[in-house]
Amino acid sequence: MQVVETVDELRRARAALRTRRIGLAPTMGALHAGHMSLVEAARAENRFVIATIFVNPTQFEPGTDLNQYPRDLPRDLAILEAAGCDLVFTPTPEVVYPRGFQTTVTVSEVSQVLEGARRPGHFQGVATVVAKYFNLTQPKTAYFGQKDAQQVVVIRRMVRDLNMPLKIAVCPTVREPDGLAMSSRNVYLNPRQREQSAVLYRALQKAARAYEAGERNPNRLRRIARDVLEAYDGIAPEYVSLAHPRTLQELNNPTDAPMLLSLAARMGTTRLIDNVLLPPHLNTREGLTATLGV
């Protein structure tokens, strides 16, 4: 496995490849089984696998956890090597944003709701760095996690709007045994919060069961999930959304068409997010990619 830190090295490594079947898995490191599912899908479907590890400062709002964000490059590289990754790009902020840098990618509407409404500038930071990765690595397919569904919606919109020549694949959320979505930020939870945090997924599941029993009323489905969250003192729900999976517009009328049920909640100072697609059978690599990907 080759590890490169500069744009020149990455361009040289890319230019030397004899295959177009390149899979890309962008990450911020502190790797867990969720990240590995992206690398494994890329490995299974491509001749060459590239991962990135970069804690992108522009996607953290001022005063948040940029400096506390967990970092362990030697461990991450060992994990990627064992997973069969071929090349890892581990740039510094100066490599990604050299002096004079002044270009950004703004995906307007789908970036303004949900996470974007609470994290101003976040998706502009994401879209800009991901566009750079796509230009540098020119993958056939880039792999993203359902865990950050809105991120996929934003990137899909960017890829379509700017005619970027690649596919976006979406891998299902990997969970802890109790249902908590794996996240590098879960280490911030104290033992009591960690125990309660499984309620996010239970809220989604309760709404999904109601859906399967025939409930289609968006207000009632949102209410079912919200009631589960509100039963816990230590959890402050920020939003419960039932939205169109590509426009992210909130739904008001019953429909059998795919819907994205997503939520965010605060436990102390830690924000947690989670989501499922409805109908529930869509929460597979194929269903997610057909609904959210390109």
List, by residue number, the catalytic residues.
35
Exposed, middle or buried, 274 (CB in 10 Å: 0-12/13-18/19+)? Answer: buried
To which residue do tokens 């690599």 refer?
Answer: 285
Exposed, middle or buried, 69 (CB in 10 Å: 0-12/13-18/19+)? Answer: middle
Name the token pair of 175: 């969970």
DSSP 91-128: --HHHHS-TT-------HHHHHSTHHHHSTTHHHHHHH
Amino acid found at 253? N
State the nearest-atom distance from the C-beta of 69 to ligand AMP, in Å.
Answer: 9
Under 8 Å between Cβ of 160 and 135? no
Looking at the Cβ atoms of 173 and 289, the one nearer to ligand AMP is 173
Measured CA to CA, the distance from residue 82 to residue 232 in angstroms comes to 40
Site for ligand AMP in 228-287 (CB under 6 A): none
Nearest to 47 by CA among 71, 27, 22: 22
State the nearest-atom distance from the C-beta of 52 to ligand AMP, in Å.
Answer: 9
State the nearest-atom distance from the C-beta of 183 to ligand AMP, in Å.
Answer: 6
State the nearest-atom distance from the C-beta of 123 to ligand AMP, in Å.
Answer: 13
Among 111, 128, 141, 184, binds ligand AMP (CB under 6 A): 184
Looking at the Cβ atoms of 37 and 291, the one nearer to ligand AMP is 37
Among 85, 88, 129, 181, binds ligand AMP (CB under 6 A): 181
Site string for ligand AMP, 146-165 (x = CB under 6 A): -xx-----------------
State the nearest-atom distance from the C-beta of 180 to ligand AMP, in Å.
Answer: 9
The radius of gyration of the chain from alpha carbons, rounded to an integer in Å, stands at 19
State the nearest-atom distance from the C-beta of 204 to ligand AMP, in Å.
Answer: 14
Under 8 Å between Cβ of 30 and 71? yes
**Binding to ligand AMP by residue 182, rule CB under 6 A?**
yes
Measured CA to CA, the distance from residue 249 to residue 269 in angstroms comes to 28
Site for ligand AMP in 79-108 (CB under 6 A): none
Among 41, 49, 51, 171, binds ligand AMP (CB under 6 A): 171
**Binding to ligand AMP by residue 23, rule CB under 6 A?**
no
Among 58, 137, 150, 183, binds ligand AMP (CB under 6 A): 183
Site for ligand AMP in 29-58 (CB under 6 A): 34-35, 37-38
Site string for ligand AMP, 126-145 (x = CB under 6 A): ------------------xx
User: Near ligand AMP by CB under 6 A, which window of 103-111, 174-182, 196-204, 219-227?
Assistant: 174-182
Measured CA to CA, the distance from residue 207 to residue 194 in angstroms comes to 22
Looking at the Cβ atoms of 115 and 148, the one nearer to ligand AMP is 148
For 144-168, b/e burial (b = at least 16 CB within 10 A) is bbbbbbbbbbbbbbbbeeeebebbb
Which residues are at the interface with ligand AMP (CB under 6 A)?
A: 27-28, 34-35, 37-38, 144-145, 147-148, 171, 173-174, 181-184
